[in-house]
C-alpha cells in the first residue's frame, strides 16, 4: 500500500508546478498527500487475502515459476481453492 501511494504521489510531484508558479504552498503540499492516500486506497481495494497459485515448469531454462490463477478475499473461496488443489493433486498422482 505504501509503495503504490509513493508511486502515485511521486508522479504527481513531477507534474505539480513550483510554489512560485502555483502562488500557493498549500497546493504544492496538499495534492501529493491526496495522491498518496488515493494510491494507498487503490492498493487496499485491489489486495486479496487468498490466492490460488500453480507451479509451472517451463520447457526452456527459465525453471519453475508460481503463477496466480485466482484471487479472493472471501473465506468461502479459500475453501474452494483448497478443494481445487486437492482435485489437481489427485489428477497429477494418478
More confident residue, 65 or 28: 65
Range 66-94 average pLDDT: 87
pLDDT at 17: 67
* pLDDT category of residue 22 using cuts at 50, 70 and 90: low
Radius of gyration of the chain (CA): 22
**Residue 47 and residue 58: Cα distance in Å, rounded?**
28
| Spatial contact of 43 and 1, defined as CB atoms under 8 Å apart | yes
Summarised one tens digit per residue, pLDDT across range 36-50 is: 888 888 888 877 788
| Spatial contact of 52 and 85, defined as CB atoms under 8 Å apart | yes
Place of cell 486479496: 48
Q: How much of the chain, in percent, has pLDDT values that exceed 90?
A: 3
Checking if the pLDDT of 54 tops 80, the result is yes
Amino acid at each position: 500500500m505504501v509503495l503504490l501511494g509513493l508511486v502515485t504521489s511521486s508522479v504527481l510531484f513531477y507534474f505539480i508546478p513550483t510554489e512560485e508558479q502555483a502562488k500557493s504552498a498549500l497546493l504544492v503540499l496538499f495534492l501529493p498527500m491526496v495522491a498518496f492516500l488515493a494510491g494507498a486506497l487503490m492498493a487496499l481495494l485491489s489486495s486479496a487475502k487468498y490466492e490460488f497459485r500453480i507451479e509451472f515448469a517451463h520447457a526452456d531454462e527459465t525453471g519453475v515459476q508460481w503463477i496466480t490463477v485466482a484471487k479472493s478475499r472471501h473465506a468461502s473461496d479459500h475453501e474452494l481453492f483448497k478443494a481445487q488443489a486437492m482435485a489437481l493433486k489427485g489428477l497429477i498422482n494418478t
